[in-house]
Structure 1
Amino acid sequence: MFKSNRYDDETLKHLQEVQIEIFKYFTKVCEENDITYFMYAGSLLGTIRHEGFIPWDDDIDVIMFREDFEKLNAVFEKEIDDKYNFFNVLNEKTYHYTWGRLTLKDTLFKEWWADQVDYTPNIFLDIFILDNIPDNKYKWFIQKWKSFALNQMTIYSLIKYRNESRLKEIIQQMAYYFLKILPVSSTTIKRKCVESFSKYKDEKCERVCDFPSEFLMPVSNRSDWVPAKKAKFEGLEVSIPNNYDKILTMDFNDYMQLPPEESRFNPAPEEIDFGE
């Protein structure tokens, strides 16, 4: 079993404060460019249950429709504050996530995979993507499993995994070495992955999903998300899904119930540095 590092209270509080500053910049950009986002995952749960961070949470998650993500990407390609970097799966060769990440330069958030990439992993805000999926069951079956396979290939083409399960680790590392000998680049795999995720982006679809989390976060309807509602997060007004109860129930079941005390922590990274 891998031993998880634990945050001390001061470090976790400082980390949350830094992430709020990143989030403020993100929401400013969204407001100035008419981009809609929603609090997501643990951050949505924190908004509803705690009106802020889940006390032991160590990041902020947001999500937006593919069309808004592309608009955000275009904004950041044109201009971004010098303090930040914006990563997506296509703009950084060794970035292995298929969602976006806004990061604060001159900080360090070193996870176990950090030595395998060509960039410095900074303190970050995760920006997930809602993609259209078709009503046709056959088309959805093809898109779902093709997207799942390409998402896994994107990860394993770049990262040699460690796993608490020795069997899973062997399988994951076999995938890593197999992809290394294939005559196809990780960049090509990434491009095919985005094409699969966004295959129906120009069609009018009611159903949407977050592909990397699809097996944990089931399919939802566009009307579950819009029109966005407003709520408070650490004293800030934020956007939340129209039917946040349905979204949270799908993700956490009885979401207002606190987990057992021994589960109230997030593992800390191998190293964290707040810079200046």
Structure 2
Amino acid sequence: MKVNRMKKLQLSEVKQIELDILKNFASFCNEHNLNYVLAYGTLLGCIRHNGFIPWDDDIDVFMLRDDYEKLLSMKNLFEGKFSKLKFKNLGDKDYPFGFLKITDDTTRVEEKEIEAKYQYGIWIDVFPLDKVSSGEKKHIKNWRKINFWNKILIKSIIKSGNIGTTIIQKKINSLLLIPVAHCVGHIIKISKKCNRLAQKFNNEETSFVSNYIWENNPRNQPVFEKERLFPAIKGFFEGVEFCIPNDSDGILKKMYGNYMQLPPESERVSHLANAWSY
């Protein structure tokens, strides 16, 4: 990426671009009767800060699988309406994830640990929620399979030497795990396998859903009653109304415990490394 012709963006500018993407996404969903809710730190920011968590710099939303697939089927319509916004989704060249990123094509983000070909414009993440089996053993077994392949996937896109917290761990990963990950198979195939596993229980009669495709702990993984998410209600994020779960308090307690308590300053870190606009 040639950054000498680009303007480096401040955190406030990154947030504004993300907010603009979210507003366009929300207006499109409203127009086409697609259900979504703010998720993770975005929902937490909405409730605790009425907007972005001050040190946070990403936006996440949930959609039930049916609405998510309908949105994907409208890719051309969406991109035609918002010309600088692009869908990055499972199956696209050099896109390894099983969830949707909506990116601003006039920007670029540099993440130090990620290989250059897997870096995109400023984005928001759209996660599909899939049904969870009512049998805990079946749920955990399926999650372990997904988590195994997700770990292989992540090791495939991270630069050698950047995985691990100690020198020994970094060397083991650099010399062994990352090369093995590259040899296991094409990352798109791995991601598609995770996606199939995530949808394994979608034909079951169950009212519980989860972000199977990206959570990393089966016992602490947030499993939600669908009725606590939808029908959504309205909440203000940066002065704009968006859809939030009807039981946001219960959802946030499940994910974060005492969510109104601020974390230690050492944990108040942002995700993005550097961002530029053309």
TM-score range, shorter chain: 0.7 to 0.9
Task: Tell me, in whole angstroms, the C-alpha distance in 2 between the residues paired with 1:172 and 1:56.
Answer: 30
Shift of 1:104: 0.2
1:16–1:58 Cα contact (<8 Å) kept? yes
Instruction: Kindly indicate whether residue 263 of structure 2 is the aligned counterpart of residue 264 of structure 1.
Output: no
Q: Assess, with a 3 A threshold, how the Cα gap between structure 1 residues 154 and 170 changes in structure 2: closer, same or farther.
A: same
User: AA paired with 1:206?
Assistant: S
Q: Give aligned pairs, total.
A: 262
TM-score normalised by the chain length of structure 1: 0.86
Any idea what SS the aligned residue of 1:232 has?
Answer: strand
Q: How does 1:118-129 map to 2 (within 5 A)?
A: 120-129=119-128
CA distance in 1, matches of 2:265, 2:104: 32
| Conservation of the 8 A alpha-carbon contact between 2:35 and 2:63 | yes
User: Distance between the aligned counterparts of 2:60 and 2:90, measured in 1?
Assistant: 17
CA distance in 1, matches of 2:168, 2:207: 39
Q: State the Cα distance separating 1:246 from its structure 2 match.
A: 1.8
TM-score by length of 2: 0.85
Pairwise CA distance, 1:181: 2.8
1:50 lines up with 2:49 in the alignment:
yes
Where do residues 7-26 of structure 1 align in structure 2 (5 Å cutoff)? 11-26=10-25
Q: Which residue of structure 2 aligns with residue 221 of structure 1? A: 225
- How do residues 197-276 of structure 1 correspond to structure 2 at under 5 angstroms? 197-211=198-212, 212-215=214-217, 217-269=221-273, 271-275=274-278
Amino acid at match of 1:68: D
Shift of residue 17, structure 1, vs aligned partner? 1.2
1:202-253 deviation digits (Å, cap 9, x = unpaired): 3332111112125254222212211212111111111111221121112221
| CA apart distance, 1:259 | 2.2
Task: Return the alpha-carbon distance in structure 2 between the equivalents of residues 207 and 171 of structure 1.
Answer: 39
Q: Is the contact between residue 116 and residue 159 of structure 1 (CA under 8 Å) also seen in structure 2? A: no
SS at match of 2:182: helix
SS at match of 1:238: strand
What is the CA–CA distance in structure 1 between the aligned matches of 2:265 and 2:119, rounded to whole Å?
34
Match of 2:3 in 1: none
Q: Deviations over 1:155-182 (max 9, x none)?
A: 2334345133334434544332113334
Alignment check: 8 A CA contact 1:217 1:250 kept: no
**Aligned positions of 1:154-173 closer than 5 A:** 154-160=153-159, 162-163=162-163, 164-170=165-171, 172-173=173-174
Identity %: 31
**Distance in 2 (alpha carbons) for counterparts of 1:263 and 1:122:** 25
Using the TM superposition, name which of 62-71 and 76-85 deviates more.
Answer: 76-85
RMSD: 2.2
Partner of 1:110: 110
Structure 1 unaligned spans of 5+:
1-9
Q: Which residue of 1 aligns with 2:4?
A: none
What is the deviation of 1:254?
A: 0.9
Aligned to 1:4: none
Q: From the superposition, tell whether residues 156 and 120 of structure 1 become closer, same or farther in structure 2 (CA, over 3 Å).
A: closer
Q: Which runs of 5+ in 2 are unaligned?
A: 1-8
Answer whether contact 2:109 2:272 (CA < 8 A) is retained: no
- State whether structure 2 residue 93 is matched by structure 1 residue 89: no
Does the 8 Å CA contact 1:98/1:151 hold for their aligned counterparts?
no
Q: Is the 8 A contact 2:111 2:119 kept in 1?
A: no
- The verdict on how the C-alpha distance between 1:141 and 1:60 changes in structure 2, with shifts beyond 3 A counting, is closer
Residues 149, 77 of structure 1: CA spacing in aligned structure 2 closer, same or farther, 3 A cutoff? farther
Structure 1 segments of 4+ aligned residues over 6 angstroms from their partners: none
Q: Is the 8 A contact 2:18 2:59 kept in 1?
A: yes
Q: 2:179 matched to 1:177?
A: yes
